Amino acid sequence: MKDAPVPFTRPPKGGCRYRMTISYDGTGFYGWQCQPDRPTVQEALESALLKLTGETVRVHSCGRTDTGVHARAQVAHFDLAIPREAWKLQAGLHAMLPETVRVPLLRQSVPNFHARYDAKGKEYRYSIWNAPVASPLHRFQALHVRPRLDVAAMRAAAAMLTGTHDFAAFSANPRREIGGTVRTLWRLDVRRQGENVRITAVGDGFLYKMVRSLAGHLIRVGKGVVPVEETGSILRSRRRTARVETAAAHGLCLWKIYYGALPKCPPLC
């Protein structure tokens, strides 16, 4: 979701801004953003930083994830009034955070770095365990789909969605999207490796539950429930209807955030 620009901010005088990469299993969390009386990733990080530094810290993320969604490399920043060595902060966080949250990278950043508004693009991956019998090892990280998916049909549908389009039909709440519903998908592809089918989406930004909606549609195409050709008419309709299903949250992972060089745009863009 695109928001209006935020005012320019800097760390407190004499303080320091830190940038960190966060990895987490979202199974036990109600998403990223703090909520009253519910465990969230943001709350876990801010509570750990308070215990570690004695400062009330707001952790600003590159974006929010929904309940049950995972992250491999989510990026966030925070400010401290009293600077501390980054490696000590990183070690201290790992001593206080639950085992389902880790900070693979933490370092000082330039004062005007903003995890969200400096981001140029995001990559999400949706995992499917495509076999008659569910895998206990993938039950929290992949959606179980029993019928064998037609990956070629899914790829054909994905190609119709790649590029710059109005994705209102693939937003769970298109009427409330700030900044409109036009987005650019640089890449949307489907790959199979054994029983694992992976959908990768890379774009300049995503609407509310857009990736899960894209995955839900492609899965229906792969099952043969929806013809490939219907993808174009759904996209052009710019209306969210029951024809597009939202795939379960636990199959989704925020994979990468792009800040510098952008991924190469495929020909269909």
What is the CATH T-level fold of the domain 121-258, as seen in this structure?
Answer: Alpha-Beta Plaits (3.30.70)
Q: What is the pLDDT of residue 269?
A: 34
The fold for domain 16-108 equals Alpha-Beta Plaits (3.30.70)
Cα separation, 141 vs 128, in Å, equals 8
Q: Which pTM does this prediction carry?
A: 0.91
How would you write the pLDDT of the chain (269 residues) with one tens digit per residue? 344 444 457 777 779 999 999 999 999 999 999 999 999 999 999 999 999 999 999 999 999 999 999 999 999 999 999 999 999 999 999 999 999 999 999 999 999 999 999 999 999 999 999 999 999 999 999 999 999 999 999 999 999 999 999 999 999 887 777 789 999 999 999 999 999 999 999 999 999 999 999 999 999 999 999 999 999 999 999 999 999 999 999 999 999 999 986 665 543 33
What's the CA gap between 80 and 49, in Å, rounded?
Answer: 10
**Structure tokens that stand for 82 in this block:** 């009293």
Taking a C-beta distance cutoff of 8 angstroms, is the pair 24, 67 a contact? no
Q: In the chain, where are the structural domains located?
A: 16-108, 121-258
Catalytic sites, residue numbers: 66
Same fold, 16-108 and 121-258: yes
Question: What is d(CA 28, CA 68) in angstroms, rounded to the nearest whole number?
Answer: 7
